[in-house]
Chains A and B, each alone.
Chain A
């Protein structure tokens, strides 16, 4: 069986497992979905009506199979709170989260990788010490605390950056893709783009902190190993420029072991977005899920868990493919 097909099948099994667990958890929690759906002021008869309508009086196995059938058709269910199809909500909100997560990952790689190389090449010298301290701090600082501090100083006190939201209220453009950087650029106005960028800076900074520190430390560690290899010594002896030695010959070797973790930081960003979105009032999946948790909106909770799972699984698969691309010794089988 081809490698990719095999991996897709196992990925599907993982997703199925998560679906089953979330489904089971939603039923174990002592709450009545029918009365939640009907609302706090519903009469018992109305609750029973809802129970029948939503098929909640059917045996649990029947509910499970019909749930799976709905999922297979892309139907994630209906939100108790908004009564809207969850799939539509997620399609609307996911780009906002994705934009944050992608930018945070990008920033963390653009910063973490070169800084890691610099730290490794200056091992145990002052610059390395400073970078390690920076890495330690950015990994350790709690996301919500950093977010609040940045809001307090850069937004409230100094007024340099907006406090929250994706755009200023007076900035309007078509939401074609849901990625505001692209949408604002499509609107053709530099002012719009600048407004979007200003809104992105704080949440992206906060989200990128942890992955940046992690990347720096991972790259530093694997670079130190690689720089001790005879082939690096041989390259230096051959008079190849140190820049080429570090950033081409050594870095490609150092990337492979770090790659797995680096990719997972992207998936991590998706979940850390939940906290960041609440603090920055960012209309993404995170805010959506937080509201759902507060209201015990189970269909939304399970659907969000499912989305995060799918992202994790896909990122992992992608990573393995990239790994094979970087290291010719890796055979996918």
Chain B
């Protein structure tokens, strides 16, 4: 069997004024007819660039070398680009952007297929499982959900009668159910058309499901390649092992960090007294000599009834409670120092250094955002204070972040009241994340949101933590939420920690009677909620 595409020693070098960047080095692979090749790597590993270089889509300033053999005809990447383009079609990550918004799907399909025959065009749409293909021909892209748009994009690709489909993260922008459908569609098309697919993804679960062989890229180099099952079940290279370990559902990363990690945040003997005004003068002891340590990389969830001191603890950690006494240490830096006279706060410069690394997300996003300033302004401001980024750099970070949090860039010009609750909470989250924090304190971040949005936000938080290596202190009164997210749970009662144990252990066998009572009272209430959060059913996530 001769491969339809053979690539040898592909190199792509960019030459910006800041110095050469070797985006792709010595990449070689081959692709058989009807084969699905998974191209895996983290962002920046060169997986997209290498495929784009083969299609001649890299900027003209990029230097592309190597040799490419298409159907036996061998040449440099530049010489072969036309041949590859003739044979291949591209499926994009964001289907909304890959369809021209001001023309009907039928018109675009007709141009790509070179025909105006409605029967032929609707047959194409039928093939990709778009319901009511006749009607879809006259519809505009925005009338469809992301999954349906991706089907239309695949139809557009098929219209070119390709032998090779380059799929660049085609399911990343879709929710899980739709993702599965699109993967099934691609597998079926492969069988029906003997199509080869180069499937680019950072998601190993997706790769495992769809690809026959896989190449793993790191910093532009192939570190491992082979049959998908072999590579994923028995990775040889440390990098691949790391990727596999980070895969959800595989060997749990929780158990890895659990013992080894040093505490990032340590509280000991933390006490907060609030003065009571009015007739009964005196003090309220809200936190009473509380000890707690949060390990780097974990999610510690703090549960408790209202009035138990949860929020005060969060505020004390964030430095918002000047009355705090005892000792709070963040990464070895004393925020509240027992040696310093009571009631005195730490020098503000230390605070400022730590502030950037330690961010807070509040319960009500609309109260945490200034109602009078645009979202854009509010995302610039903390960066202006805490970072050395210039305006364009800040804007770039903001664009990346809103993209990452699946916010629309049109939000930037709005004011908080023009956002939905879920959007506003994402903006607050973006504001915190823009400072590249290591530690985020969440004070009931989802209790002001409705259930479906809550699930989406929780999933997002879990994903961010995994990708950015964050540590969370998460405060909630909702045990279902706690269970969904937490590595360990601390139960707080009357200003002290009543119990602190790994999540499943605590749920299986609560030691403290107070915890047991809390669990019992929550059990009935949360039965439905556990499902909705744990099963990740986010109807709102599908539409954009």
- A: residues with CB less than 8 A from B are 229-235, 237-240, 244, 249, 252-253, 256, 326-329
Contact = CB atoms under 8 A, between A and B. Distances in A.
A231 B140 contact: no
B57 A233 contact: yes
A235 B92 CA distance: 12
B461 interface: no
Contacts of A253: 100-102
Contacts of B156: 234, 238
Contacts of B142: 328-329
18 contacts: A230-B98, A231-B97, A232-B100, A233-B90, A235-B100, A235-B108, A235-B111, A237-B88, A238-B89, A239-B86, A240-B112, A244-B111, A249-B111, A253-B101, A327-B102, A328-B101, A329-B101, A329-B102
Given A328-B142, A329-B140, A329-B142, A239 B85 contact: yes
Given A231-B97, A329-B101, A329-B142, A237 B92 contact: no
Q: Which 9 A-B pairs have the closest CB atoms?
A: A238-B112, A328-B140, A231-B100, A230-B97, A230-B98, A252-B102, A329-B142, A230-B92, A238-B160
Nearest to B140: A328
A233 B94 CA distance: 13
A244 B108 CA distance: 12
Contacts of B108: 235
Contact of B90 (A229, A237, A249): A237
A256 B85 contact: no
Nearest to B56: A237
Nearest to A240: B111
Given A237-B89, A252-B103, A328-B142, 17 more contacts: A230-B94, A230-B98, A231-B99, A234-B153, A235-B111, A235-B112, A237-B88, A237-B90, A237-B160, A238-B89, A238-B112, A249-B103, A256-B102, A326-B102, A327-B102, A328-B140, A329-B142
A231 B20 CA distance: 29
B159 interface: yes
A224 to B, nearest CB: 14
Contacts of A327: 101-102
A244 B103 CA distance: 13
Interface string B116-134: 0000000000000000000
Contact of A238 (B57, B140, B159): B159
Contacts, number: 61
Contacts of B97: 229-231
Given A249-B103, A252-B103, A328-B140, A237 B98 contact: no
Secondary structure class of chain A's binding surface, majority of residues: helix
Nearest to A250: B100
Interface residues of B, number: 25
Contacts of A230: 92, 94, 97-98
B272 to A, nearest CB: 52
B409 to A, nearest CB: 12
B283 to A, nearest CB: 57
A329 B94 CA distance: 18
A229 B108 CA distance: 15
Contacts of A235: 100, 108, 111-112
B440 interface: no
A197 to B, nearest CB: 36
A56 to B, nearest CB: 48
B160 A239 contact: yes
Contacts of B98: 230-231, 234
Q: Which one of B57, B94, B100, B111 has the greatest number of beta carbons of chain A within 10 Å?
A: B100
B55 A237 contact: yes
Nearest to A226: B100
Contacts of A252: 102-103
B57 A328 contact: no
B16 to A, nearest CB: 16
Contacts of A239: 85-86, 160
Interface string B55-76: 1010000000000000000000
Contacts of B140: 328-329
Contacts of A238: 89, 111-112, 156, 159-160
Q: Which one of B55, B101, B153, B160 has the greatest number of beta carbons of chain A within 10 Å?
A: B101
Contacts of A231: 97-101
Interface in B28-86: 55, 57, 85-86
A229 B102 CA distance: 13
A83 B248 CA distance: 88
Contacts of A256: 102
Contacts of A329: 101-102, 140, 142
B103 A234 contact: no
Contacts of A232: 100
A329 B544 CA distance: 13
A107 B134 CA distance: 41
A249 B100 contact: yes
A253 B101 CA distance: 8
Nearest to A327: B102
Contacts of B57: 233, 237
Contacts of A326: 102
A326 to B, nearest CB: 6
A244 B98 CA distance: 17
Nearest to A253: B102
Nearest to A233: B57
B223 to A, nearest CB: 29
Contacts of B86: 239
A240 B111 CA distance: 7
Contacts of A240: 111-112
Q: Which one of A230, A244, A249, A329 has the greatest number of beta carbons of chain B within 10 Å?
A: A230
A238 B92 CA distance: 13
Contacts of B88: 237
Nearest to A328: B140
B92 A234 contact: yes
Contacts of B160: 237-239
A255 B111 CA distance: 21
A303 B19 CA distance: 65
A35 B58 CA distance: 77
A23 to B, nearest CB: 37
A232 B98 CA distance: 8
Nearest to B112: A238
A212 to B, nearest CB: 25
B92 to A, nearest CB: 5
Interface string B364-407: 00000000000000000000000000000000000000000000
B113 to A, nearest CB: 9
A326 B142 CA distance: 14
A159 to B, nearest CB: 49
A329 B104 CA distance: 11
Contacts of B159: 238
A183 B112 CA distance: 48
A187 B279 CA distance: 100
Contacts of B111: 235, 238, 240, 244, 249
